[in-house]
């Protein structure tokens, strides 16, 4: 089992640029989650999908953030335009429906200068 795969592992970009983070969930898992981790705020849920449908996006900071899940094996989190305060580690996680723990990828460390 390859686990949750995220890319890139590191992303450095300039303020104003578009950033796209990618995630491949564990095969067979039908729930997918995007989290953000910072020293100040810890781990925060941004959005989650169930069967490729967004269920709760109340954690998305603002309209600059968007997430898609075009199929069961791929999701993207996009920030446009990016700002320095978006700098954080972004984690993707997946789970088998509503029962069972989340399994996390190793994250994308985003730095916006």
By the criterion CB under 8 A, which residues form the site for other proteins? 4, 31, 33, 39-40, 42-43, 45, 48, 50, 55-56, 91, 93, 95, 97-98, 100-107
Answer for the pair 19, 108: CB distance below 8 angstroms, yes or no.
Answer: no
Longest dimension (CA), the chain: 40
Q: Which is nearer to other proteins, 7 or 80 (CB)?
A: 7
Reference 86, options 50, 61, 68, 54; nearest CA is 61
CA 56 – CA 51 distance, rounded (Å): 13
Which of 18/85 has CB closer to other proteins? 85
Nearer to other proteins, 82 or 107 (CB): 107
Rounded to 5°, the CA angle 112-102-109 comes to 15
């Amino acid at each position: 089992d390859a686990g949750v795969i995220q890319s890139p592992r590191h992303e450095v970009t300039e303020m104003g640029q578009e950033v796209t983070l990618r995630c491949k969930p564990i095969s067979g898992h039908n729930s997918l989650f995007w989290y953000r981790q910072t020293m100040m705020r810890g781990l925060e849920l941004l959005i989650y999908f169930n069967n490729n449908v967004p269920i709760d996006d109340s954690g998305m900071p603002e309209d600059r953030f968007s997430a898609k899940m075009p199929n069961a094996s791929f999701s993207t989190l996009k920030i446009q335009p990016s700002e320095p305060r978006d700098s954080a580690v972004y984690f993707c996680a997946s789970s088998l429906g509503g029962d069972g723990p989340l399994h996390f990828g190793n994250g994308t460390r985003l730095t916006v200068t």
